[in-house]
Amino acid sequence: MRVTSSLIEETLATTEEREASVTFSRQLAFAAAELYATVGDGNGLWERRLEQYVVDAALRGPLPDALHQRIRAVGWRGQGAAIAAVGTPPDDGDTDRLRRLAWDAGADVLLGASGERLVAIASVVEGHSADDLPAVVAAIADGFGAGQVLVGPVVADVTDAWSSLHAASVAAAVVVASDADTRVVAADDLLPERALAGDQRARAALIERAYTPLRRARQPLLETARRFVEAGGAVETAAKRLDVHPNTVRYRLKRIADATGLDPTGARDSFVLQCALRLGLMQDATTS
């Protein structure tokens, strides 16, 4: 079904036709999965076929409004904030352990495959909130295989999980180009790498976080940040280019840190800031 849907989408000429095809294929997939769930063995909290269809749909984009009713019909208990994680499958293939870890931490989880990666969409159950999701992530990380686990941002509920999954999936593809060395890596910590890979959401988030606040500032923080990173972090060189005293640059750097949450003198933060500045300047140039 997935192959057929993909082939149909590729042959359609207009954007409207392709969007209509995507909507139809999702509805057909959910209907088929519900049928499988009805005639299947019915044991366990979640029917695997429907689970994979949900993951496939989330990888494509926003989920249908009727999703909650359909997944609850086969035992889904998540009803609050959600988050997506991507990693390698466990060596022994025991994904049920990940389910148990999630449940013990206060969440229900949907599992599916995306290529060679294991995808998990976790949503808190009754009595738990978004505040519990860090503990959920820490717990389910032990259910993945070797390597790093990439985690998307928290979203309101499972119907918005596609955005979290998109971020985690792109992060999984680019983490090799970063200096991240922890077991669990937040996708939002890889905004520059994701932006370089063509992730438009990461690009927009990076501009909003580190460029827009400087552009809006009354002081010449944007120009100072630009000259500082161009000077390779040398205060004296930046001061000469700005024609100000080095102490003025140091003062402005503190203001930049306050405005963006980034330390321009740190290696990683300087890289994030430099990417944000480049993207922001290019955006301004194309919209002016």
Q: pLDDT, tens digit, for every residue of 174-195? A: 999 999 999 999 999 999 999 9
**Thinking of the domain 200-287, which architecture would CATH place it in?**
Orthogonal Bundle (1.10)
Contact indicator for 159, 80 with CB cutoff of 8 Å: no
Task: DSSP letter for 155, please.
Answer: B
Q: Tell me the pLDDT band of 40, cut-offs 50, 70 and 90.
A: very low
25 pLDDT more than 90: no
pLDDT in tens, 227-244: 999 999 999 999 999 999
Q: Which of 27-36, 73-82, 206-215 has the highest mean predicted lDDT (pLDDT)? A: 206-215
Contact indicator for 87, 175 with CB cutoff of 8 Å: no
Q: Which residues neighbour 167 within 8 Å (Cβ) at sequence distance 6 or greater?
A: 84, 152, 153, 187, 188, 194, 199, 201, 202
- At residue 39, the pLDDT reads 44
Q: What is the mean pLDDT of residues 190-205?
A: 97
128 pLDDT more than 90: yes
The chain-wide mean pLDDT, for the chain, equals 87
- At residue 248, the pLDDT reads 97
Q: What is the mean pLDDT of residues 58-87?
A: 83
* End-to-end C-alpha distance for the chain, whole angstroms: 45
Q: In the chain, where does the domain assigned CATH 3.30.70.2730 lie?
A: 77-187
Strands 184-186 and 149-151: parallel
Q: Tell me the pLDDT band of 44, cut-offs 50, 70 and 90.
A: very low
Q: Tell me the pLDDT band of 36, cut-offs 50, 70 and 90.
A: very low
* Token reading at 35: 């049928």
10 pLDDT more than 70: no
Using CA atoms, how far apart are residues 137 and 122, in angstroms rounded to an integer? 8
Q: In the chain, where does the domain assigned CATH 1.10.10.2840 lie?
A: 200-287
- At residue 19, the pLDDT reads 60
Q: Tell me the pLDDT band of 219, cut-offs 50, 70 and 90.
A: confident
- At residue 276, the pLDDT reads 98
Residue range 77-187, CATH number: 3.30.70.2730
- At residue 24, the pLDDT reads 60
Q: Tell me the pLDDT band of 51, cut-offs 50, 70 and 90.
A: confident
| DSSP reduced 3-state for 202 | helix
Q: What is the mean pLDDT of residues 82-110?
A: 95
